[in-house]
Chains A and B, each alone.
Chain A
Amino acid sequence: MAKGKKVTVIGTGNFGSTVAFILAMNGTCHNVLLRGRNYDVTKGKALDMSQAANAARQHTIVKAAKGPEDMVGSDVVVITAGAPRTPGMSRDDLLVMNADIVKMYAKEIKEYAPEAVVVVVSNPLDVMTYVALKYTGFPRERVLGMAGVLDAARMAHFIYEKLEYGAGQIRATVMGGHGDTMVPLPKFTTVAGVPIEDLLDSEEIGEIVQKTRNGGAQIVNLLGNGSAYYAPAKSTTVMVDAILKDTNQIHSCAIMLQNDYGYSDIVSGVPVMIGAGGAEEVIMMTLKNLQVKKFEKSVAAVQEMVDTLYKLNFFEDLN
Chain B
Amino acid sequence: MTNRRVGIIGAGAVGATAAYTLAMKGVCKEIILFDIADGVAQGKAIDIAQATQYAPQPTILTSAKTPADVKDCDIVVITAGVPRKGDMTREDLLMINAKIIKSVTQDVMKYSPNAIIVSVSNPLDVMTYAIQKITAWESNRIIGLAGALDGSRMAYQIYKQLGYGAGQIGTLVIGDHGQNMVPLPQKVQVGDVPSTDLLDDEAFAGIIERTKNGGAEIVKYLGTSGYYGPASAIAHMVEAILNDTQTVVSCSVLLNGEYGVNNVTVGVPVVLGKNGVEKIIQMTLDPKTQKKFQDSVDSIQESIEILNNNGFFD
Contact = CB atoms under 8 A, between A and B. Distances in A.
30 contacts: A148-B192, A152-B192, A165-B246, A165-B278, A167-B247, A173-B192, A188-B189, A188-B194, A190-B187, A192-B172, A193-B171, A193-B184, A193-B187, A193-B188, A194-B269, A195-B283, A198-B283, A248-B165, A248-B166, A249-B166, A249-B167, A250-B165, A250-B193, A251-B192, A271-B192, A273-B164, A273-B165, A283-B197, A284-B197, A285-B197
A81 B101 CA distance: 62
A198 B190 CA distance: 19
Nearest to B248: A192
B190 A250 contact: yes
Main secondary structure of the interface of B (DSSP, over half): loop
Contacts of A41: none
Contact of A190 (B170, B250, B284): B170
A164 B187 CA distance: 22
Interface string B287-308: 0000000000000000000000
A278 to B, nearest CB: 14
A250 B191 CA distance: 5
B164 A249 contact: yes
Contact of A249 (B191, B197, B246, B283): B191
A192 B189 CA distance: 9
B145 to A, nearest CB: 16
B236 to A, nearest CB: 11
A191 B194 contact: no
B33 to A, nearest CB: 28
B247 A165 contact: yes
Among A166, A167, A171, find the residue whose CB has the most chain B CB atoms closer than 10 A.
Answer: A171
A285 B284 CA distance: 23
Nearest to A189: B189
Given A166-B271, A249-B164, A250-B164, A194 B171 contact: no
Contact of B248 (A148, A166, A252): A166
B57 interface: no
Contacts of B190: 250
B281 to A, nearest CB: 6
Given A192-B170, A248-B164, A250-B168, A169 B192 contact: no
A13 interface: no
A165 B279 contact: yes
A313 interface: no
A271 B198 CA distance: 12
Contacts of A168: 245, 247
Contacts of B284: 195, 198
A166 B278 CA distance: 12
Interface in A177-225: 188, 190-195, 198-199
A11 B6 CA distance: 47
A195 B248 contact: no
A286 interface: yes
B239 to A, nearest CB: 11
Contacts of A284: 197
A165 B188 CA distance: 18
B199 to A, nearest CB: 12
A247 B248 CA distance: 25
Contacts of B16: none
A199 B284 CA distance: 10
Contacts of A164: 246
B2 interface: no
Nearest to B189: A171
A191 B192 CA distance: 12
Given A171-B189, A198-B284, A250-B190, A286 B197 contact: yes
A252 B170 contact: no
A199 B281 contact: yes
Interface in A255-299: 271, 273, 275, 281, 283-286
Contacts of A191: 248
Interface string B185-225: 00111111110111000000000000000000000000000
B245 A271 contact: no
Contacts of B41: none
Contacts of B163: 248
Interface string B62-106: 000000000000000000000000000000000000000000000
Nearest to B155: A193
Nearest to A172: B192
Given A164-B246, A165-B278, A247-B166, A285 B271 contact: no
B310 interface: no
Contacts of B267: none
